């Protein structure tokens, strides 16, 4: 190497080293490290990462200190004569055994954390998370409500027609809400393809696998909003299905749950409501299509020899109490259940609607309207 190129190379090395150092400092100053932990597990993961990175850094500096010293001092251009050694059993054993010992020491805290992460027993609250292309559903199993959570960033921001907000692509319409300092167990699954539910501040990342339910847990130790993203490629909108979790103090959380329950109740049908016949028939047709038409057929003719016709049926045109009884209890023949099973899992309104529909369709002209209250009464 000529002197000129050596100088050039030295400058380049110095410049690159400076550049790497600058990138690292900017990164650490600008919060480009692991996110600030907000759960005990995330705390230990953060520390684990710091310790291991430091150990690696020290070894790195040691090994490449030797290499760069060699690069500097043992140059041919400086007239250095090559030694001819090529073996040293002691040294070779040392640099096999010492790394092994370092690894074993690193394994201890890591193992402890793994076991802690896997302990999903005795949760205070269980939420089922389902991944869809491309949104999340949060089902509060103990409280009986669920909702979808989709990206709230407007398309105009994505396409650059509007200024991008601070939480660009990390904001949703309905965040998941959890109480602070409670052990929350999340059951994670997917409806279509793989997704991965990830909240960096809690150190929870669990793939959502269609057909399988996996679980994870966290205890959020800070109030506030925590943001993550789907971490497993799930199709074209993969980059646009954020995970947002809002952590509330316990009393606020209780108020939020009560509020959600009220919304569910409001959305549900009131069995005391008195319906117009037309509205009930329209709804009844949908219920019929979904639950009855497979056997009794859409035209009400049934399948001769297998499933009775409803069109012109004595039961459907007879006293309404009998028909209600059949829907609530199913039909038994010779003491054995038949294909006509009980449909009492349907709501009062749905049962009332489907009975009203069958009694006023095809050739059936009873003119009767069955109100949800009658079904409620029949349930006893």
Partner 1 sequence: MTSATHGVGHAVPGEHGHHDDHAHHDDHHHGPPSGFMRWVMTTNHKDIGTMYMMFALMNFFIGGIMAMIIRAELFQPGLQVVEPEFFNQMTSLHGLIMIFGAIMPVFVGFANWQIPLMIGAPDMAFARMNNWSFWLLPPATVLLIGSLFVPGGSLSAGWTLYPPLTVQQGMGMDMVIFAVHIMGASSIMGSINIITTILNMRAPGMTLFKMPMFCWTWLITAFLLIAAMPVLAGAVTMLLTDRHFGTSFFNAAGGGDPVLFQHIFWFFGHPEVYIIALPAFGVVSQVIPAFSRKPLFGYSSMVYATASIAILSFIVWAHHMYAVGMPAAGQLFFMYATALIAVPTGVKVFNWVATMWRGALSFETPMLFACGFLFLFTLGGFTGLVLSIVPVDIQLQDTYYVVAHFHYVMVAGALFSAFAAAYFWMPKWTGVMYNETLGKWHFWLSMIGFNVTFFPQHFLGLAGMPRRIPDYNLQFADFNMMSSLGAFVFGGSQLLFVYIVYQCYSRKGEKAAANPWDGAEGLEWTLPSPPPYHTFETAPEVK
String of contacts with partner 1 for each residue 280-299, x by CB under 8 A: --------------------
Q: Between 1 and 332, whose beta carbon lies closer to partner 1?
A: 1
Buried b (16+ CB within 10 A) or exposed e, 258-297: eebeeeeeeeeeebeeebeeeebbebbbebbeebbeeebe
Q: Which of residues 117-156 bind partner 1 (CB under 8 A)?
A: 117-118
129 forms beta bridges with: 138, 188
Distances (CA, A) of 36 to 47, 178, 200, 240: 11, 18, 9, 23
Query: How far, in Å, CA of 114 to CA of 290, rounded?
Result: 47
Q: Is 12 in the site for partner 1 (CB under 8 A)?
A: yes
Minimal distance, residue 44 CB to partner 1, in Å: 7
Interface residue with partner 1 among 38, 39, 41, 350 (CB under 8 A) is 41
Q: Between 204 and 340, whose beta carbon lies closer to partner 1?
A: 204
Q: Decide if 218 contacts 251 (C-beta within 8 A).
A: no
String of contacts with partner 1 for each residue 189-218, x by CB under 8 A: ---xxx-x-x-x--xxxxx-xxxx-xxx--
Q: Is 52 in the site for partner 1 (CB under 8 A)?
A: yes
Cα radius of gyration (the chain): 34
Minimal distance, residue 311 CB to partner 1, in Å: 36
Q: Between 40 and 330, whose beta carbon lies closer to partner 1?
A: 40
Can you tell me whether residue 261 is helix, strand or coil? Answer: helix
Interface residue with partner 1 among 90, 108, 159, 314 (CB under 8 A) is 159
Q: Is 232 in the site for partner 1 (CB under 8 A)?
A: yes
Q: Is 269 in the site for partner 1 (CB under 8 A)?
A: no
Size of the site for partner 1 (CB under 8 A): 105
Report the 10 Å Cβ neighbour count for 144: 10
């Amino acid at each position: 190497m000529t002197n000129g190129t050596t100088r050039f190379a030295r400058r380049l090395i110095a410049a690159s080293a400076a550049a790497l150092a600058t990138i690292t400092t900017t990164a650490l100053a600008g919060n480009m490290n692991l996110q600030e932990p907000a759960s005990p597990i995330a705390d230990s993961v953060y520390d684990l990462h710091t310790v291991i990175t430091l150990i690696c850094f020290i070894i790195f500096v040691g090994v490449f200190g030797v290499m760069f010293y060699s690069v500097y001092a043992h140059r041919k251009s400086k007239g250095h004569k090559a030694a001819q050694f090529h073996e040293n059993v002691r040294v070779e054993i040392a640099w096999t055994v010492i790394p092994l010992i370092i690894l074993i020491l690193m394994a201890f805290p890591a193992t402890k954390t793994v076991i802690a992460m896997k302990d999903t027993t005795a949760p205070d609250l269980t939420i089922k998370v389902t991944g869809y292309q491309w949104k999340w559903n949060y089902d509060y199993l103990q409280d009986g409500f669920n909702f979808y959570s989709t990206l709230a960033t407007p398309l105009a921001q994505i396409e650059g027609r509007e200024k991008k907000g601070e939480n660009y692509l990390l904001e949703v319409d309905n965040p998941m809400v959890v109480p602070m300092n409670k052990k929350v167990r999340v059951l994670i699954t997917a409806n279509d393809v793989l997704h991965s539910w990830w909240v960096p501040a809690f150190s929870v990342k669990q793939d959502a696998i269609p057909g399988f339910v996996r679980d994870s847990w966290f205890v959020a130790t800070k109030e506030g909003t925590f943001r993550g993203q789907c971490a497993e490629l799930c199709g074209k909108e993969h980059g646009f299905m954020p995970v947002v979790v809002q952590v509330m103090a316990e009393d606020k959380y209780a108020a939020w749950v009560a509020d959600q329950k009220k919304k569910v109740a409001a959305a549900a049908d009131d069995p005391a409501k008195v319906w117009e016949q037309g509205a009930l028939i329209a709804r009844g047709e949908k219920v019929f299509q979904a639950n009855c038409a497979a056997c009794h057929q859409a035209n009400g003719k049934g399948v001769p020899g297998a499933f009775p016709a409803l069109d012109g049926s004595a039961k459907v045109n007879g006293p309404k109490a009998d028909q209600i009884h059949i829907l609530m209890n199913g039909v038994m023949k010779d003491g054995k259940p038949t294909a006509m099973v009980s449909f009492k899992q349907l709501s009062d309104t749905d049962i009332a609607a489907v009975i009203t529909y069958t009694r006023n369709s095809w050739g059936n002209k009873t003119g009767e309207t069955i109100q949800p209250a009658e079904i409620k009464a029949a349930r006893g």
